[in-house]
Amino acid sequence: MSTDHKRIGVNLGSLSLIFFLVGGVFALLMRAQLATPNSDVVSDNTYSELFTMHGSTMVYLFVTPIAIAMATYLVPLQIGASSISLPRVSLAGFWVWLSGGLIMQSGWLTAGGPGRDGWFSYVPLSTSPYTPGPGQSLWVVGVLLAVTGSMLMGAAVLVTILGRRAPGMAVLRMPVFTWTALVTVLMVVAAFPVLLVAMGLLLIQRLTGADIFSGFTGAIDYQDLFWFYGHPVVYVMFFPFLGAAAEAIATCAHRRWFGYHAFVISMMAFVTLSMSVWSHHMYITGGVTNQYFAFTSTLLVVPAGIEYFDMMGTLIGGRLVMRTSMLFALFFFVQFLIGGLSGIFVASPVLDYAANDTYFVIAHFHYTLFAGSIFGFFAGVYHWFPKVTGALLRERLGRWQLWVMVVGANLTFFPMFLVGADGMPRRIARYPQHPSWITDNDLSTAGAGLIAIGVLIFLVNLWVSLRNRVEAGDDPWEGQTLEWATTSPPPPLNFERPLPPIRSFAPLLDLREAERERDPAGPTPEAPR
């Protein structure tokens, strides 16, 4: 009910995390099925439901909304605003998203089971002659509502960023995370409505039998509309975590993010390119112009390269303190690099003719989404948890979580590159008895178990840290941006003290540097935690 952006952000974040656990259970069931080649843990049909609901839960109900939750919570604080713009839109968006999530999952209660045509549910497979029953329709309605809700919340963030900045907070003085949030919500506003059109038409076709997506053209049009949303959304699931990792690294390096202007330019290029590459998902259809999309997709090397340059530039010459947030952020960059480089590989049509629809692609996007974005998310959690709750997370448990998840993620996803290059298609419930496939799949299943343990350690850490609180104070890390200039947790209207002067994207660092200049012999930098 509350229209406070902090409450909306925390509620959205917590519910997304619950969906993360749900989607994770689906993944574990799939890995159990694939541990042996001809397994009967679940039926073929249930397996289709599991991979569909795993992908849909993770994309529509976890990674996208938690990215928006971080933006909703942090952006007003970072730009020195007392509240979010369009608070009622944001609140309504939250409830629309939640009802969408529940409706999508409610398919499990129907006799025919939930949606089972994959998270992109191509036509004509997803039309009622081939997938009858309410489960798939509930999936369509759920996606429609979940994406509508995300879009409304994103719009509120966009209006906030552009209209509510504190005096002095020019657009080119916005913190790095706020910039990543801005480009994220630009895509939300420009790309999400296209999915609503596709899903709306699919729903009408399912319910009335109208021949909307018809024949070859219809099949290609659906894919074009879907991926016009579906590719930008993978950047929605990346940029905010890039911002979180960047803030964590800059803070733990005690200097400002290197190359801010290059970063801003590259983000603008990045976001436009990310809206221009969608048909690289359709190379093998024979229905799109592959060269154009190979061109735009490969061009992504340039802005992505700039981000890595800035990351390394920040590390070199810093005073590094290896906190858990820093470690998660570094693994975000390093592991995402594997996903990114394999992405350049599959951006080449000829290479994609081999890799598409195989485990190679699964490995590629799990390196970006899980080994990348989720690590960036945890960097953000360890960085901002003290701000949100006023209590510190345990560092020792954090390190256990980190290393278990690093081993787990690589053990799960690296063998998928091998088995995919060797010809194992995605979305099969049973596979032939090749010895190397069995080994690779067993490694993946073991890794998935480790990831689950890593997530459990995180939950234990949450529980311990909130039960036996170690008070964080307003600014435990020598933060650089405005959210560290208020209390932890922030008061209802965010700031009770006057804001410091804003002369750059790191106003608190400016103050600290000015102080050191006035009094070089002054207080020595605090001991590394």
Partner 1 sequence: MSDFPPSAALVSTRAEYGHLFSIYVPIAAGVFVVVVLVVIGAILRYRGAGAPSRRSNATWLEGSYALLLACVVAFLLWETFSAEHQVDTVANRERPSLTINVTAARWEWTFGYVGDGITARSGRTGHQPLVVPADRAIRFNLASLDVIHAIWVPQLEFKRDLIPGHTGHVTLTFTRTGSFGGQCAVFCGEYHSEMTFTVRVLPPGKFATWLAAHRATGRAAPARTGAA
Partner 2 sequence: MRGGAWPLVIFGSLLVVFGVGNRIWTEDAIQSATYAFAAAASYLTAAGLSFAGRGEPARRGAPPPVEVTRTIPAASAGAVTLAIGAGALGLGFVFGKFLVFGGGGLLALGCVLLMRELHAQRRATVGGGPG
How far is the C-alpha of 471 from the C-alpha of 383, rounded, in Å?
A: 14
**Residue 432 touches which of partner 2, partner 1, none (Cβ within 5-8 Å per kind):** partner 1
| CA dist list (Å): 224 to 75, 120, 121, 280, 472 | 32, 11, 13, 10, 48
Which partner, partner 2, partner 1, none, binds residue 500 by CB below 5 to 8 Å per kind?
none
Q: Which has the closest alpha carbon to 428: 153, 21, 33?
A: 33
Name which of 300, 430, 447 is nearest 363 in CA terms: 447
Q: Residue 528 Cβ, how far from partner 1 at the closest point, in Å?
A: 6
Min dist CB 510 to partner 2, Å, is: 17
The three-class DSSP label of residue 426 is: coil
State the minimum distance, in angstroms, from the CB of residue 249 to partner 2: 24
To 10 degrees, what angle do helices 176-208 and 64-78 make?
140
> From the list partner 2, partner 1, none, which binds 357 (C-beta under 5 to 8 Å, kind-based)?
partner 1
Minimum separation from the CB atom of position 270 to partner 1 (A): 13
Yes or no: say if 90 and 152 are a contact pair by the CB < 8 Å rule. yes
* CB closer to partner 1 out of 18 and 514: 514
Q: Is 288 or 311 the residue whose CB approaches partner 2 more closely?
A: 288
Q: Nearest to residue 317, comparing CAs of 260, 250, 245?
A: 250
CB closer to partner 1 out of 93 and 107: 107
Closer to partner 2 by CB, 47 or 179: give it.
179
164 or 254: whose CB is closer to partner 2?
164
Q: How far is CA 9 from CA 15, 388, 455, 496, in A?
A: 10, 10, 21, 20
Is the CB of 319 or the CB of 497 nearer to partner 1? Answer: 319
Omega prior to 124 cis, within 30 of 0: yes
**Residue 35 or 89 with smaller CB distance to partner 2:** 89
Q: Whose Cβ is closer to partner 1: residue 42's or residue 159's?
A: 42
Nearest-approach distance from CB 319 to partner 2, in angstroms: 31
SS (H, E, C) 106-171: HHHHCCCCCCCCCCCCCCCCCCCCCCCCHHHHHHHHHHHHHHHHHHHHHHHHHHHHHHCCCCCCCH
User: What gap in Å lies between CA 338 and CA 289, rounded to an integer?
Assistant: 27
124 vs 500 by CB, closer to partner 2:
500
Q: Please report how close the Cβ of residue 53 comes to partner 2 at its closest, in angstroms.
A: 17
Q: Tell the smallest beta-carbon distance from residue 415 to partner 1 (Å).
A: 17
- The binder of 237, among partner 2, partner 1, none, by C-beta within 5 to 8 A per type, is none
Give 134 or 349: the residue with its C-beta nearer to partner 1.
349
Give the C-alpha separation, 239 to 268, whole Å. 12
Q: Kindly report the number of other CB atoms within 10 A of residue 496's CB atom.
A: 10
Phi, psi of 358 (to 5 degrees): -115, 175
Question: Is 471 in a helix, a strand, or coil?
Answer: strand
CB of 48 to partner 1, least distance (A): 7
Query: Which option in partner 2, partner 1, none does residue 381 bind, with CB closer than 5 to 8 A by kind?
Result: none
For residue 37, the partner it binds in partner 1, partner 2, none, with Cβ less than 5 to 8 A by kind, is none
C-alpha span between 521 and 287 (Å, rounded): 68
117 binds, among partner 2, partner 1, none (CB under 5 to 8 A by kind): partner 1
Indicate which of partner 2, partner 1, none lies near residue 429 (CB less than 5 to 8 Å, by partner kind): partner 1
Q: How far is the CB of 224 from partner 2 (least distance, A)?
A: 5
Minimum separation from the CB atom of position 79 to partner 1 (A): 20
Which of partner 2, partner 1, none does residue 348 bind (CB under 5 to 8 Å by kind)? partner 1
Cα 420 to Cα 436: distance, rounded to the nearest angstrom: 11
* Residue 4: DSSP 8-state: -
Residue 289's binding partner out of partner 2, partner 1, none, with CB under 5 to 8 Å set by partner kind:
partner 2
Residues with Cβ < 8 Å from 97, sequence gap 6 or more? 12, 65, 145, 146, 148, 149, 150, 153
Residue whose structure tokens are 């976001």:
271
Contacted entry of partner 1, partner 2, none for residue 162, CB cut-off 5 to 8 Å set by kind: partner 2
| Nearest distance, CB of residue 264 and partner 2, angstroms | 9
Residue 159 binds which entry of partner 1, partner 2, none, with Cβ cut-offs from 5 to 8 Å by kind?
partner 2
Smallest distance from partner 2 to CB 456, Å: 32
Both tokens of 343, joined, read 């992405």
Helix (H, G, I), strand (E, B) or coil at 358: strand
The tokens describing 511, both together, are 């103050």
Through-space distance between the first and last CA atoms of the chain, rounded to whole angstroms: 39
Nearer to partner 1, 289 or 468 (CB): 289
**Minimum CB distance to partner 1 smaller for 6 or for 206:** 206
463 binds, among partner 2, partner 1, none (CB under 5 to 8 A by kind): none
Residue number with CB closer to partner 1 (209 or 425): 425
Q: Measured from the CB of residue 311, what is the shortest distance to partner 2 in angstroms?
A: 23
CA 477 from chain centre, in angstroms, equals 24
